[in-house]
Amino acid sequence: MAATKSHLFVYGTLMQQMNNPFAIRLATMAALVGPATAQGRLFHHPQNYPCAVCSPDRHDRIHGQVYRMKDPEACFEFLDPYEDCDMNQLSQSLFIRTQTSVDMGHGLSVLSWMYFWNRPLNGMVPIDSGCFTSIRG
């Protein structure tokens, strides 16, 4: 596994094809490495965004993309507030940013930052495909 602190795995509104200011800003501050999957389950929040949770089942996969950030700290300065992640008050955060192994295909995996949901799953519907764009378009 390639070890780095500059990779970011995104699986929802920050993906390259999403047309919002945060996805566009990320694309200017990071280079798209390519598609990837991470172990976990994806849920659809009633406010139309995905929430990733850990899963012990290695067959549970979340589909997304990996970026290589040019300046991770600068990226996190705008991404953490967007994800409602306060690394100094994790118990108060909607999402927690942590590093996890993501599969790039062809036997290659990289250690990437990823945002995981930090609240109960009340009212959320599982995205069985693991792919947010399959329900969002």
Q: What is the pLDDT of residues 67-76, one digit of tens each?
A: 999 999 999 9
Its CATH architecture, for the domain 7-129, is Roll (3.10)
pLDDT classification of 136: cutoffs 50, 70, 90? low
Average pLDDT across the chain, whole number: 93
* DSSP codes, 27-92: HHHEEEEEEEEEESEEEEETTTEEEEE--S-TT-EEEEEEEEESSHHHHHHHHHHHTT--TT-GGG
Q: Is residue 26 scored above 70 in pLDDT?
A: yes
- What's the pTM value of the predicted model, to 2 decimals? 0.94
pLDDT, average across residues 71-87: 96
CA-nearest of 124, 129, 106, 90 to 11 is: 129
pLDDT, average across residues 47-67: 96
Q: Where are the domains of the chain?
A: 7-129
pLDDT, average across residues 92-109: 95
Count Cβ atoms within 10 A of the Cβ of residue 10 and give its class: 0-12 exposed, 13-18 middle, 19 or more buried. buried
Q: Which pLDDT score is estimated for 4?
A: 64
Q: Is residue 34 scored above 60 in pLDDT?
A: yes
pLDDT classification of 134: cutoffs 50, 70, 90? confident
> Residues 40, 55: contact at Cβ < 8 Å?
yes
Q: How many CB atoms lie within 10 A of CB 67?
A: 25
DSSP 3-state assignment of 101? strand
Query: In which residue are the tokens 């920050």 written?
Result: 14
